[in-house]
Chains A and B, each alone.
Chain A
Amino acid sequence: MPSRESDIATPRLVIDVAGLQSLIDSLRGDGYRVVGPTVRDGAIVLAEMSDVAELPRGWADDQRPGGYRLTRREDGAFFGHSVSAATWKHHLFPPEVVSWQARVDTEGIHVEAPAAPARYALLGLRACDLAAIAVQDRVLMQTAHPDRDYAARRERALLIAVNCAAPSGSCFCTSMGTGPRATAGHDLALTELVGDGEGPARSAQVPAGAERNDAGAGHRFLVEVGSERGAAAISALRASPPSASDLDAAAAVWSSAAARVDRSLDTAGLPGLLMRNLEHPRWDLVAERCLSCANCTLVCPTCFCVDLREAGGLDPRHAEQHRVWASCFSVDHSQLHGGSMRWSARARYRQWMTHKLATWHEQFGTSGCVGCGRCITWCPAGIDITEEAAAIRATDGLTGPPTRARG
């Protein structure tokens, strides 16, 4: 865990709730569309916002395989929940964008310059979300043919992370080395300190010894600056330097969050483990439960598969291509000459999991998984990628028919 001393080089300050509102106001004044978490339809979703009152104050979440429920907190924390239902991909890598459009005639294909995408300030990213963005940066930008739309959105975006205080039951960032504390990729990183200046109870995340450090302090945020753009964003804010007790309280949040991550994925030799067990009977077992519904891929913050669709409409002079989220769980994802290379649900689940945890390393030099747990939570059948990996590891090399009958 990084020590306080090693963080001394990071510019830090403390703002209160009014300061957070000022930050939002000033970003909007600068032309950013601020997107942050809010409660809607029984979940924490991401939406454009203008007021701290829209944040999920006093809300937490209970996430587990195939289940998500909002719960209440006593301490009025704004960010006392864990990962949002949908990912920030909706803003950086949206479900459907125009990849190019052109006028077509006998003289040629006249490509029209694309409209510049909006400038987003993303408020409330978790460390795993930041790690996922870094993964998507590699896939979509650090290549001979960068995705122009993604690069434009990415370049214009301001990333404000919030350090997790309350990881959920689905989270396993600690196993993936991606959290719960944001250490890279953010312009700003906030750690919420509820203190005892507001409301009847302090944050349940602050362990006993640290209470004394937080005594008498109000609801505030430690802000760590991660970039020049971040520094510029807060330069005009009224803020104070962090006190020793602020730093202690923040450190307590970070360490207790890490301790609370319950789920784990053993990543030792994982790519080799999966690729030498391609005929393991576990794939047959999971295929019995898998709905091939594609939910896991569509809530995954690193999945990048897309369809490129012709969408020119009825005007014969207009050509347009759309980039649309696709999934390896679709049968036609691997369709060739009228037949699919991966017809069975078994093959498609295996493709997803081995790509995410194994072949991604070969392709991009990192794991494809950041341990956010969304695929576990939002799978209607409650299939858990960490459980599947553990089952294969426990019976490495097993062949033959599945031993457990469907009950």
Chain B
Amino acid sequence: MQSTRRPKLAVWKFGSCDGCQLSLLNCEDELLTLAGAVEIAYFLEASTAVTEGPYDLSLVEGSVTTPHDAERIQEVRATSRHLVAIGACATAGGIQALRNLADVGEMTRTVYAHPDYISTLESSTPIAAHVPVDFELRGCPVSRHQLLEVVSAFLAGRKPLVPAYSVCQECKRRGNVCVTVAHGTPCLGPVTQAGCGAICPSFHRGCYGCFGPTETPNTAALSDVLRSCGMSGPELVRIFRTYNTGAPAFAAASAAAEKRGGPR
């Protein structure tokens, strides 16, 4: 580092579970080196000590679900030189984007005794729907290795090396037996972006699509495969409606499955 001051890092939370921020804290060994390279200026999950902005790099976790947050993200963007959206909530709206397909007003009235106290938006949207975003890091939660790569890349003034190919590449490099081909287990791996190291197939479960759609997802073809694994119509709709339900390719795939119907 040639410059005299360390870049200021800020970590922000919107509509989220905090899991992505936690990934940063899970960096353990690398955290010290990281703390040497950047000034962790605003990171409420780690410390209440706060340095004022502007910030060189802001990591934003969570989606926008309230009018207050819709304003707040504008402020975060204005005070950040670079803004990186981290996690499925920030990049696709999260699992809470299921509200986009339903009537959130009705849900509120069902759940709360005094629904008039609740101020929430009709839909859960990703950060990029509100402000320009410099990079989107997928995952639910994000991979801490990729998170460190994003911060390192920013420090080096280059684009992060985060591959957009499928989970299958990580699965095969690991030497896993394909759960779909050998067990008939439905798996979203072929249309899901790599990053997790193919964890679920390594434990004989199908991929849940946590890292969102891969670079050119052929969800129509994969839906055929999932049906041949015995997935019913409703199951097919549901499998695309989880953490990345709001990602356009997955939303389209579930809508197509819903329209097609099929065996219950």
Q: Which residues on A are within 8 Å of B, measured CB to CB? A: 40-43, 45, 66-69, 85-86, 90, 95-96, 288-295, 298-299, 309, 314, 324-325, 327, 329-332, 343-345, 377-381, 406
Contact indicator B182/A85 (Cβ below 8 Å): yes
Can you report 13 residue pairs joining A to B where beta carbons are below 8 Å apart?
Answer: A41-B182, A69-B182, A288-B218, A288-B221, A289-B221, A290-B218, A294-B169, A298-B169, A331-B215, A345-B216, A378-B178, A380-B180, A380-B187
Determine the chain A residues whose CB is within 8 A of the CB of B168 once the complex forms.
Answer: 293-295, 298
B173 within 8 A of A: yes
B159 nearest CB neighbor, chain A only? A338
Q: Are the CB atoms of A331 and B218 closer together than 8 Å? A: no
| Chain B positions within 8 Å of A43 at CB level | 177, 182
Would B190 and A332 count as touching, CB distance under 8 A? Answer: no
List chain A residues, Cβ under 8 A from B181: 66-68, 377-380
B72 interfacial by beta-carbon distance below 8 Å: no
Residue of B nearest to A46 (CB): B175
Q: Please pick, from B152, B164, B173, B175, the residue contacting A331 in the complex, using a CB distance under 8 A.
A: B164
| B176-191 to A contact mask, C-beta < 8 Å, 1/0 | 1110111100010111
**Interchain CB contact (< 8 A) of A314 among B30, B173, B183, B189:** B30
**Pair B221/A295 contact, Cβ less than 8 Å:** no
Q: Answer yes or no: B256 CB below 8 A from chain A CBs.
A: no
Give chain B residues whose Cβ lies under 8 Å from the Cβ of A343.
216
Q: Report the minimal beta-carbon distance from B53 to chain A, rounded to whole angstroms.
A: 26
The secondary structure that dominates the B interface is helix
Cα A291 to Cα B178 in complex, Å, equals 15
Q: Which residues of the other chain, B, contact A67 by a CB distance below 8 angstroms?
A: 181
Residue of A nearest to B172 (CB): A298
A350 CA to B225 CA, complexed, in Å:
22
- Chain B's closest residue to A344 (CB) is B216
| B175–A291 touching, CB < 8 Å | no
Residue among B165, B173, B204, B221 making CB contact with A41, cutoff 8 Å: B204
Contact: A309 with B218, CB < 8 Å? no
Contact in complex: A291, B177 (CB < 8 Å):
no
Q: What's the Cα separation between A41 and B205 when bound, in Å?
A: 11
List the B side residues contacting A345 at CB < 8 Å.
216, 218
Which residue on chain B has the smallest CB distance to residue A295? B168
> Which chain B residues border A90 with CB–CB below 8 Å?
175
* Contacting pair A96 B173 (CB below 8 A): yes
Q: Contact between A332 and B177 (Cβ–Cβ < 8 Å)?
A: no
Contacts of A69 in B (CB 8 A): 182
Check: B161 CB closer than 8 A to any chain A CB.
yes
Question: Are B216 and A292 in contact (CB-based, < 8 A)?
Answer: yes
Chain A nearest CB: distance from B102 CB in Å?
A: 30
Q: Residues of A contacting B172 with CB < 8 Å?
A: 86, 95, 294-295, 298-299, 325
Distance of A380 Cα from B187 Cα, bound (Å): 10
User: What's the Cα separation between A69 and B183 when bound, in Å?
Assistant: 8
Q: Check B166 against A95 for contact (C-beta < 8 Å).
A: no
B163 adjacent to A332 (CB under 8 Å): yes
The contact of B190 among A45, A291, A327, by CB within 8 Å, is: A291
- Known: A68-B178, A68-B181; 4 extra A-B contacts, CB below 8 A, are A43-B182, A66-B228, A86-B172, A95-B172
Q: In the complex, which residues of chain A have a beta carbon less than 8 angstroms from the beta carbon of B163? A: 330, 332
Q: What A residues does B216 contact at CB under 8 A?
A: 292, 331, 343-345
